[in-house]
Amino acid sequence: MRIDCKDLACPEPVLKTKTALEGLPDDAILEIELNSVSSIENCTRFGENQGCTVQKKALEDGTTLLTLVKGYGCAIVESEKEGLVNKTFFFKSDQIGEGELGKKLLFGFLKAALELDSLPKTIIFVNTGVKVTTLEENQPAIDSLLELEKRGVEVYSCGLCLGELGIDPSLVKVGKVGNAFDTMQTLVGSDVVSL
């Protein structure tokens, strides 16, 4: 089912989503067309609050399409993007290995990744790894990550880790802030390379 909630003011999009969702059986898919920041965030919150799997996609005409999978339906597996393999690079600290070499390796490694023929679908930063995407001292890494993101790689920084380290989420310079659920889902659903 697909509903059009474009140009509607809050709380209309959420109410229309609620009504549509209530009328659907479990495992059904609801697609919502939206075009404002507030309605996208609100419908995402609502969907997650109702236990749905929520996916967001930008359409060419500027519309955002939210896909809600009701109940325990499996998440939709997107068709593989060109040049991306179903691998996840998992960074648990802001360097690779100990000592001074650790930082050099991190920068060098990410730069080298740009030369790869096939890129990982996702890169996740947890624990002190979130410093890589936020602190100015890691600008060389951020530059590489921005380029990787341009090529379709999804970059996530752990929201909880940012909070624990006192780093404002607005400082994340590349990719998105991820939550524990999404992280686990990605780790379970792909080959993981821990770094």
Residues engaged in binding other proteins (CB under 8 A): 9-11, 14-15, 36-39, 41-46, 49, 159-160, 162-164, 166, 168-170
Nearer to other proteins, 35 or 190 (CB): 35
User: What secondary structure letter does DSSP report for 91?
Assistant: E
Q: Which residue has the tokens 């005409």?
A: 61
Look up residue 133 and give its two tokens: 């995407």
Least distance in angstroms from the C-beta of 34 to other proteins:
11
Least distance in angstroms from the C-beta of 44 to other proteins:
7
The phi and psi torsions of 47 (rounded to 5 degrees) equal -60, -45
H/E stretch holding 19 reads: helix 12-22
Nearer to other proteins, 39 or 122 (CB): 39
Look up residue 76 and give its two tokens: 């939709």
From the number of C-beta atoms within 10 Å of its C-beta (0-12, 13-18, 19+), residue 80 rates as exposed
Nearer to other proteins, 42 or 95 (CB): 42
Nearer to other proteins, 148 or 161 (CB): 161
